[in-house]
A and B are shown apart, each in its own frame.
Chain A
Amino acid sequence: MYDEVGPSEMIVHLGPQHPMLPGPFRLNAKLRGETVVDSEVEMGWIHKGIEKILENKTYLQGITIVDRICYLAALTNEEAYVGCVEKLAGIEVPERAQYIRVIMEELSRIQSHLLGMGEYASFVGFVSMFMYTIKEREDLMSVIDSVTGARITHSFLRFGGVKDDLPEGFKEDVKYVFGNLRKAIDNYEELFSTDSIYKARTVGIGTLTAEVAKDIGVSGPPLRATGVAFDIRKDEPYLVYKDLDFKVCTQTAGDVFARVQVRLDEMRESMYIVEQCLDQIPSGPIFPEGTAYGRRSPVMRIPAGEVFHRVEDPRGEMGFYMVSDGSDKPYRVKIRGPVYPTLQALPPLLKGVPVADIVAIAGSMDTCTSEVDR
Chain B
Amino acid sequence: MDAKAMIDSLSSQFTGVIYDAQVESDIRILAKVKPESVKDICQYLKEKLSFGHLCCEFGVDYPERNEIEVVYVIGSYEHPVVLTLKAILPRDDPEVESVVPVYWNANWYERETYELFGVKYLDHPDLRPLVLPQDMLGEWPLRKDYKGFPNKTARNLV
Contacts and interface: CB of A to CB of B under 8 A. Distances in A.
Contacts of A57: 158
Contact of A217 (B54, B80, B130, B153): B54
Contacts of A53: 154, 157-158
Given A228-B77, A334-B56, A52 B141 contact: yes
Interface string B74-92: 0001001010100000000
B150 A43 contact: no
Contact of B56 (A48, A52, A332, A336): A336
Nearest to A321: B73
A187 B150 CA distance: 50
Given A43-B130, A308-B82, A336-B56, A52 B27 contact: no
Interface string B36-70: 00000000000000001111101011000000000
Nearest to B107: A344
A214 B55 contact: no
Contact of A49 (B80, B104, B153): B153
Interface residues of B, number: 36
A319 B61 CA distance: 20
B108 A217 contact: no
A319 B73 contact: yes
A56 B153 CA distance: 13
B16 interface: no
The dominant DSSP class at the B interface is: loop
B125 interface: no
A323 interface: yes
Contacts of A164: none
Contacts of A310: 55, 82
A374 B130 CA distance: 12
A236 interface: yes
A217 B158 contact: no
Interface string A322-352: 0100000001101010001100110000000
B55 A43 contact: no
Interface of A: 43-44, 47-49, 51-53, 56-57, 214-217, 219, 228, 230, 235-236, 306, 308, 310, 317, 319, 321, 323, 331-332, 334, 336, 340-341, 344-345, 373-374
* Pairs of residues from A and B, 4 with the lowest C-beta to C-beta distance, nearest first: A217-B105, A336-B56, A44-B131, A47-B131
